[in-house]
C-alpha cells in the first residue's frame, strides 16, 4: 500500500502535513519544532518558514510527498526578498569612492557596470564586514568559493579579481603585494569562423532593409556589436568609403572599411528610415539595442540552417579570417580590428584555410596503391 504524504499551505502562518497513521511518519513529524496535531481536521501543522519547509522536504522525501506549488512559490519569494534585502544593504555600504575613482579614470560605462556588479557580489559574500576590514585570506576564500562552488568561468573569475584589485589598489592605494591573487590561466580557444559559403547563405536570408544593413555592416567592416549600435550618421563617409569608429574598445578611434555593396543599401535605408543621430535607431529614436541586433542575427542563422554555433562576434572573426585568406597583410587586419597587439590578430592564422591547405598530410606522401 502506497503511503501518501501531503504538504499544503495552511492558515495563520502554518503548514499542513497530512498522512495515514504510520509509526515512522509519526516520529518524523514530531522531530519538527513547534509541531501541533489538529484533531478536528485530522492533520498536523508546523510553522510556515523556510527552515521548517526545507526540513519537511528532507524528512519525507523518500515518500515522494505531494507538495502544494504555492509553498514553493512562497519560498522563492522569501529567498528573493532576502537576496534583495542583502543587496540593498550592500548597496548602502558600497564605498562611494569606488565609483568616483572609476569615473575619474574615465572607465567605460560597461566596465563601470561590470566592476560595480562584481564588487557588490563580493560585499554580499562578506555582508556585515566593512570592505576595508576584509583581509587577503578572505579575498582568496571568496575566489575559491567562485571556482569550487559557483563553478564560474575563467573570464568571470578574472573580472572578479580586476574589480577587487581596483578597489584595494586604485581606491585605497594599497600595494599589490599585500593581497597577491593567483590568476587563472586563459584558455587558448580558437575563434569560431563561418566559411564564405555560409556567410553568403546567412546574408541571403535577410530581406528587411534595416536588418540587412546591420548584418552586412558587421561582416563587411569587422565591427563589434557595441561599435555598430554606437555609430552615428556622421561616422559614415560614403565618398571615401570609410567608417570612423569612435572610442572603440580601449577608447581608441580607428578607421574601418565601408563595402561598396553596402553603400547602395545604406543610401536606400537612409531615404526610407531617415535616422536623425544614430545610424541605426529604435522606434523611440534612441540607439538600436544590442539585443535586437542579436535577435536579427540568430533568426538569420536559424533560417540559413547553419549548424555551427555562432554569434554576432563570429562575423567579426569571419571578416578577419576571410581577409587573411585572400592575401591581406596581417598588420592591416590588425589596424582594421583595432587590436593593440599583433599577437591578438595572429590567432586568425590558426583558423585560416589557406594556412592548413599549404601543409600536406604525411599520409598523402605514402604510396598505398
Instruction: Summarize pLDDT for 205-251 with one digit per residue, the tens.
Output: 999 999 999 999 999 999 999 999 999 999 999 988 899 998 767 67
What mean pLDDT do residues 113-126 have? 88
pLDDT at residue 187, rounded to an integer: 61
pLDDT at residue 271, rounded to an integer: 94
CA angle (62 as vertex; 57, 63 as ends), nearest 5: 85
Known active-site residue 224 = yes
Point out the domain boundary residue: 310, 331, 349: 310
What mean pLDDT do residues 165-184 have? 75
Question: Are residues 280 and 203 part of one domain?
Answer: yes
Which residue out of 287, 316, 317, 322 is catalytically annotated? 316
Q: Whole-angstrom Cα distance, residue 192 to residue 215?
A: 17
**Taking the model in full, what pTM does it have?**
0.58
Q: 106: which DSSP letter?
A: T
pLDDT at residue 303, rounded to an integer: 94
What mean pLDDT do residues 240-266 have? 85
Q: Are 48 and 36 in contact (CB under 8 A)?
A: no
For residue 280, being part of any structural domain is answered with yes
Point out the domain boundary residue: 288, 310, 332: 310
Which residue out of 115, 167, 219, 348 is catalytically annotated? 348
Q: What percent of the chain has pLDDT over 70?
A: 85
Question: Are residues 278 and 214 part of one domain?
Answer: yes
Contact residues for 215 (Cβ-Cβ < 8 A; gap 6+): 202, 203, 206, 296, 297, 300, 315
pLDDT-wise least confident of 144-153, 259-268, 295-304: 144-153
In the predicted structure, residue 88 carries a pLDDT above the cut 50? no
Known active-site residue 22 = no
- β-partners of residue 29 are none
pLDDT at residue 252, rounded to an integer: 78
Q: What percent of the chain has pLDDT over 90?
A: 31
Q: 360: which DSSP letter?
A: P
What mean pLDDT do residues 289-310 have? 92
Which residue out of 14, 28, 224, 322 is catalytically annotated? 224
Question: Are residues 223 and 276 part of one domain?
Answer: yes
Known active-site residue 313 = yes
Question: Are residues 304 and 209 part of one domain?
Answer: yes
For residue 305, being part of any structural domain is answered with yes
Pairs from 82-88 (Cβ < 8 Å, separation ≥ 24): 86/124, 86/127, 87/120, 87/124
Which residue out of 124, 254, 303, 313 is catalytically annotated? 313
Q: Are 5 and 60 in contact (CB under 8 A)?
A: yes
Q: Are 222 and 314 in contact (CB under 8 A)?
A: no
What mean pLDDT do residues 158-176 have? 89
H helix intervals, 176-329: 196-204, 209-221, 225-229, 260-273, 290-303, 312-325
- Sign of torsion over alpha carbons 253, 254, 255, 256: negative
Question: Are residues 165 and 119 part of one domain?
Answer: yes
What CATH number has the domain bearing residue 253?
Answer: 1.10.443.10
Which residue out of 28, 211, 317, 339 is catalytically annotated? 339
Point out the domain boundary residue: 286, 310, 334: 310
For residue 360, being part of any structural domain is answered with no
Mean pLDDT (the chain, rounded): 83
Question: Are residues 112 and 36 part of one domain?
Answer: no
Which residue out of 249, 254, 299, 303 is catalytically annotated? 249
In the predicted structure, residue 267 carries a pLDDT above the cut 80? yes
pLDDT at residue 215, rounded to an integer: 95
Name the residue with higher pLDDT: 9 or 294.
294
Q: In what helix (H) or strand (E) does residue 276 lie, and over which residues does it extend?
A: none
Question: Are residues 204 and 149 part of one domain?
Answer: no
Known active-site residue 339 = yes
Pairing type for strands 6-9 and 66-67 reads: parallel
Name the residue with higher pLDDT: 60 or 178.
60
Amino acid at each position: 500500500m502506497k503511503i501518501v504524504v501531503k504538504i499544503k499551505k495552511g492558515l495563520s502562518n502554518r503548514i499542513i502535513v497530512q498522512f495515514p497513521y504510520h509509526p515512522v511518519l509519526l516520529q518524523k513529524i514530531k522531530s519538527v519544532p513547534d509541531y501541533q496535531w489538529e484533531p478536528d481536521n485530522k492533520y498536523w501543522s508546523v510553522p510556515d518558514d523556510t527552515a521548517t519547509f526545507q526540513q519537511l522536504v528532507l524528512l519525507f522525501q523518500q515518500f515522494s510527498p505531494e507538495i502544494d506549488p504555492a509553498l514553493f512559490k512562497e519560498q522563492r519569494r522569501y529567498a528573493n526578498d532576502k537576496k534583495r534585502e542583502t543587496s540593498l544593504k550592500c548597496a548602502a555600504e558600497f564605498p562611494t569612492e569606488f565609483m568616483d575613482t572609476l569615473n575619474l579614470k574615465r572607465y567605460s560605462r560597461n566596465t563601470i557596470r561590470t566592476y560595480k556588479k562584481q564588487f557588490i557580489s563580493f560585499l554580499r559574500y562578506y555582508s556585515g564586514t566593512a570592505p576595508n576590514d576584509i583581509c587577503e585570506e578572505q579575498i582568496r576564500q571568496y575566489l575559491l568559493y567562485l571556482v569550487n562552488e559557483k563553478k564560474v568561468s575563467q573570464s568571470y573569475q578574472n573580472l572578479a579579481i580586476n574589480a577587487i584589485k581596483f578597489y584595494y589598489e586604485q581606491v585605497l592605494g594599497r600595494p599589490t603585494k599585500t593581497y597577491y591573487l593567483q590568476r587563472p590561466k586563459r584558455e587558448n580557444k580558437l575563434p569560431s569562423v563561418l566559411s564564405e559559403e555560409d556567410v553568403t547563405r546567412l546574408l541571403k536570408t535577410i530581406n528587411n532593409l534595416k536588418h540587412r544593413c546591420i548584418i552586412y555592416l558587421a561582416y563587411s567592416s569587422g565591427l563589434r556589436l557595441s561599435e555598430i549600435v554606437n555609430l552615428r550618421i556622421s561616422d559614415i563617409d560614403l565618398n571615401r568609403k570609410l567608417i570612423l569608429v569612435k572610442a572603440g574598445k580601449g577608447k581608441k578611434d580607428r578607421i574601418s572599411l565601408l563595402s561598396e555593396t553596402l553603400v547602395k543599401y545604406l543610401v536606400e535605408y537612409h531615404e526610407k528610415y531617415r535616422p536623425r543621430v544614430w545610424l541605426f535607431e529604435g522606434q523611440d529614436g534612441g540607439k538600436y539595442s544590442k539585443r535586437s541586433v542579436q535577435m536579427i542575427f540568430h533568426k538569420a542563422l536559424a533560417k540559413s540552417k547553419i549548424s555551427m554555433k555562432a554569434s554576432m562576434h563570429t562575423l567579426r572573426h569571419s571578416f578577419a579570417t576571410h581577409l587573411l585568406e585572400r592575401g591581406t597583410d596581417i598588420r592591416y587586419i590588425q589596424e582594421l580590428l583595432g587590436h593593440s597587439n599583433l599577437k591578438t590578430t595572429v590567432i586568425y592564422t590558426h583558423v585560416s584555410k589557406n594556412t592548413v591547405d599549404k601543409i600536406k598530410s604525411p599520409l598523402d606522401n605514402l604510396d598505398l596503391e
